[in-house]
A and B are shown apart, each in its own frame.
Chain A
Amino acid sequence: MPQYKNKLFICSLIIGSLFLILVLRLFYLQILKGDEFELFSIENRIRLINSPAPRGKILDRNNKKIVVNRPSFDLKVFPNELKDIEKVSEMLGGILEMDKAEIRQSITKAKKKSAYLPFILIKDIDRDTLAAIEANKPDLGGITIEVNYLRDYPEGKLGSLFVGYLGKPNKDDLKKFPLTNLNITVGKTGIEETYENDLRGANGINYKVIDALGRQVKSKLFQKDIEDKETLPGNNIHLTIDIELQKKSEQLLKNKAGSISVVNVNSGEILAMASSPSFDPVLFVNGIDQSDWNDLTKNVLHPMLNRSTRGTYAPGSTFKIVTALGALKENVIDEETTVFCPGHYKVGKKKFKCWKHSGHGWVNLNSAMAQSCDVFFYNTAEKLGIDRISKYAKIFGFGSDTGIELSEKEGLVPSRSWKYKQFKEPWYKGETVVTSIGQGYLNVTPLQITMMTASVANGGSVLKPILIKRISDLDGKNTMVSSSEVLSILPFDDMQIKMIQESLVSAVNEKSGTGKKAKVKHGTVAGKTGTAQVISTKTKSSKDKHKDHAWFTAYYPAENPEIAITVLVENGGSGGGVAAPLAKEIIDLYFDLKNGVIQNDNV
């Protein structure tokens, strides 16, 4: 039928071009988008089973447990494997004592999102619930128990302020720790934060090939290019902390606000670092609830503040160590220098009082230190000047970080240029004399004071405080061992340091010494008290919050120093009366532990 030839030819053209469209679509799917679809096809059949890595433990210097892990039994639901959501919800509702409608709702919601992605319905179920679930297992297809790890604190609140707590990662955390997946918790503060990468370990991953019905497929054919990853537990952190000293320190600060820190004067190792009040890290284990969080953050006593490293205070008379050494070095005073203390001192027209209003009479360096005579130092300070006071303060490390493995404050060492910048005002002489006795703008952390005392005790080395002794992996092999670090050598002669050391011994051991309540029977303690005014002396106030901060810093034994201690009690009153007795108790315990009077296991 030749008359239809043209029409049939047009038909072939139409058919040909539609076939071409099919081929182009094939080209688009297989060549242009092939790699993308290949990924989809892998996702389709590969299931990841995460086996969580237990986080590293945090132990004391004798391997005593401070932070460990406990298993958390989490109820995991595989939505596509549930046969009868209604029935399962009802059963779970009964076992968990939850509303079954609520359970059904969360399952349906998760299933809508993705039927293949398992989700955790409820975390950390107790043993009885676990037993009930296991008993009903045949009827609970698609429900499994997954074991995860949660932090456990065998010593309760002990060390919570330097140990820190865990929480869900936020944006900043993800920047800091790029490998984090959103389902785990990360260290938010303290050691948990600083050593997140060591503590975390690596979750194990098991790949499972499944078919469209979610059944596991054993065939090797579909398992190329995928490899299981073994669980790698986190590394253990061995602190320099001695759990007994830490316990005692925290106990001594009970119902007080303050800080106690104990360091080894030769290595810089921190043996105890207590801050009070503190918080209970257990509150954070399963995510802290809002009211607990509010209680912690809105508390006027700041239980989340590690006072040892982040609390800044006027150092009071403990700072006289710096002024005295500076003055000796600059030849402003010497051993013979005597000053008459009538109980006050005049700078220009302004009168500055000595803490002892009746006056100390004639005092030299030794007795001025021992009795903490302010007038002696006012006098010295006028000669020394603020520039040299602040220079020596900085040499001791004030006004800058100590270098501890925790977040800390630098404090403040005032100077002329600082004051001009801050207030656009010149420096006044009266401010110099106030600075020399640790008042005024001067601001330090208790740990800075401890490191100062340690440097005087060890003969002139300013050490970096160390909180982490070593980090060990699963096999007990050390991945990091810390070593002592000398930050600076004090520029003083041995004789000058010795003079100060002797004055500190006097302060504790002489009858007139302000620190005599720290005197111990078994050796010689050297120390310096401090009573830092919170408000000006002119204002009389009996309010607790206006009471002076009580300081006491000491080292022991004086002849061959081993430890330095600083005690600070906020609004405690006088350093000699309140802080010194606490230091004594720590030193007593240290002696007992060292001499085996108290058994410290694992030593």
Chain B
Amino acid sequence: MIMFDRRIIKNFGWLILFLALLFSAFGLINLYSASYHTGLGTFKKQLIWVCIGFITMLIITFMNSNLLKRYTMHIFVISLLTLIFVFIFGREVSGSRSWIVFGPISIQPSEFVKISLILIIARFYSNDFEDGPFGLKDIIKPIIFTIMIFSLILLQPDLGTALVIILLSGTMLLFMGIKRKSLLIILSILVLVSIPAWSFFLKDYQKERILTFANPSVDPLGMGYNSIQSQIAVGSGKLIGKGYLAGTQSQLRFIPAQQTDFAFSVLAEEWGFLGSAIMLLIYFLLILTILDTASSSKDKFSMLVALGIAALFFWHTLINVGMVLGLLPVIGVPLYLFSYGGSSVLTAFIAIGIVLGIKMRQSLVPKEDISLEKNN
């Protein structure tokens, strides 16, 4: 099951691993500062999660990729069941029922579900030998998968994750091509569905979040408060920042959720424009190397999985940093490898592990082909 080969070392995605580890190291350094005054509990927990994530990543990297493809449907069904379980038995935290609690550990299944969605969409297209653009009937299956997951997450309700689900699936579907007419139909259905979704699924605080985004200064201590405080933190960091552990906005806890969703504003305040621009550059490079892996992968499934994972990282970064910088409404989406949170750290490492596995096996494909031929 786990294969070792010299070429593995040679073709291993060292750059991807390096960038991912570099980024999570910076994430830890930043989290140390963000939890400095409240005890280092979250920092220590995150450290453990990064270690667990790293080991998980290694295991996944060295797993046979056929295994993933073969069990995609199983993973998907388990994901759906977990989401249903969460909906019934989950713990409600700040208005959303999205957590399963095992003793000291809380898990947010909606994080892992993103990967199973990527896998099942990738598998759908890999079975098809035709190329797009596809009509609505052709891609009805991935659309149904998306809607199932989307609805269950919206029911929790977890607006941020639900949005990511739509964006992820949309990216992959668009990438594979959709006929113009079908795209129009899908978009109009989305608009039609979002109106009742607004009135039934969204809770008041979520509506307010979106509404106050337009002008947060109208109500500085109401819903726009988070956005303003975050922008003050970022802006006051200026070129070189206020210095490590010396960010006034973060250390005096003016920044909300500074260990999770707003971790990036702590960085921007303490390290300034230089630090945060470099951090975005590292992230951009990481996404580029994942896209490169997609580009050089030998089969459609691997290519699509890598693309999906690149999209996953990209959308999370865009939404999270956009929110921190006051460009987007306050939607709870973590910055992968940077925000505190076991489920998101684990999900990120699983995703990196899958990409590393794909990258590694690009060189092994010829050998596999040979063995397959022999078997036949």
Residue ranges of A at the interface with B (Cβ–Cβ < 8 Å) = 1, 3-5, 7-9, 11-12, 15-16, 18-19, 21-23, 25-27, 29-31, 33-38, 40-42, 44-45, 115, 209-213, 217, 219, 221-222
Contact B249 A23 (CB under 8 A): no
Q: How far is the CB of B126 from chain A (nearest CB, A)?
A: 10
Contact A1 B280 (CB under 8 A): no
| B177: nearest chain-A partner, CB-CB | A7
Q: Which residues of B contact A31 (CB under 8 A)?
A: 238-239, 273
Q: How far is the CB of A31 from chain B (nearest CB, A)?
A: 6
| A43: nearest chain-B partner, CB-CB | B232
Most buried by B among A3, A16, A34: A34
Partner of A222, one of B238, B251, B283, B294: B251
| A116: nearest chain-B partner, CB-CB | B221
Query: Given known contacts A31-B273, A41-B249, A222-B248, is B238 in contact with A1 (CB within 8 Å)?
Result: no
Q: Which residues of A contact B287 (CB under 8 A)?
A: 12, 15
Contact B314 A15 (CB under 8 A): yes
Partner of B234, one of A1, A30, A115, A211: A30
Q: Which residues of A contact B295 (CB under 8 A)?
A: 1, 4-5, 8-9
Q: Which residues of B contact A115 (CB under 8 A)?
A: 221
Q: Mark B271-283, 1 if CB is under 8 A from A, else 0.
A: 0110011001001
In the bound complex, CA of A15 to CA of B307 (Å): 12
Q: Which residues of A contact B325 (CB under 8 A)?
A: 22, 25-26, 29
Contact B231 A29 (CB under 8 A): yes
Most buried by A among B131, B221, B310, B326: B221
Q: Flag whether B69 is at the interface (Cβ < 8 A).
A: no
| B236: nearest chain-A partner, CB-CB | A41
Q: Mark B290-310, 1 if CB is under 8 A from A, else 0.
A: 010011011110010001001
Residue ranges of B at the interface with A (Cβ–Cβ < 8 Å) = 131, 175, 221, 229, 231-239, 246, 248-249, 251-254, 268, 272-273, 276-277, 280, 283-284, 287-288, 291, 294-295, 297-300, 303, 307, 310, 314, 317-318, 321-322, 325-327
Partner of B254, one of A21, A212, A219: A212
Q: How far is the CB of B359 from chain A (nearest CB, A)?
A: 14
Most buried by A among B276, B294, B295: B295
Contact B248 A30 (CB under 8 A): no
Contact B318 A37 (CB under 8 A): no
Contact A213 B253 (CB under 8 A): yes
Q: Which residues of A contact B307 (CB under 8 A)?
A: 8, 11
Contact B232 A40 (CB under 8 A): yes
- Chain A interface SS verdict (over half): helix
Q: Which residues of A contact B253 (CB under 8 A)?
A: 211-213
Q: Which residues of A contact B273 (CB under 8 A)?
A: 26-27, 30-31
Q: How far is the CB of B145 from chain A (nearest CB, A)?
A: 22
Contact B297 A26 (CB under 8 A): no
Contact B232 A1 (CB under 8 A): no
In the bound complex, CA of A30 to CA of B324 (Å): 13
For the complex with contacts A7-B175, A22-B327, A38-B235, 8 further pairs of A-B residues with Cβ separation under 8 Å are A9-B295, A15-B287, A30-B237, A38-B236, A41-B233, A44-B252, A211-B252, A221-B251
Q: Which residues of B contact A5 (CB under 8 A)?
A: 295
Q: How far is the CB of A541 from chain B (nearest CB, A)?
A: 70
Q: Which residues of B contact A30 (CB under 8 A)?
A: 234-235, 237-239, 268, 272-273, 276
Contact A45 B248 (CB under 8 A): yes
In the bound complex, CA of A567 to CA of B131 (Å): 114
Query: Given known contacts A27-B273, A37-B232, is B314 in contact with A4 (CB within 8 Å)?
Result: no
| A38: nearest chain-B partner, CB-CB | B236
In the bound complex, CA of A31 to CA of B272 (Å): 9
| A34: nearest chain-B partner, CB-CB | B238
In the bound complex, CA of A31 to CA of B234 (Å): 10
In the bound complex, CA of A459 to CA of B260 (Å): 91
Contact A26 B234 (CB under 8 A): yes
In the bound complex, CA of A1 to CA of B251 (Å): 49
Q: Which residues of A contact B326 (CB under 8 A)?
A: 25, 29
Contact A22 B236 (CB under 8 A): no
In the bound complex, CA of A7 to CA of B174 (Å): 11
In the bound complex, CA of A31 to CA of B273 (Å): 7
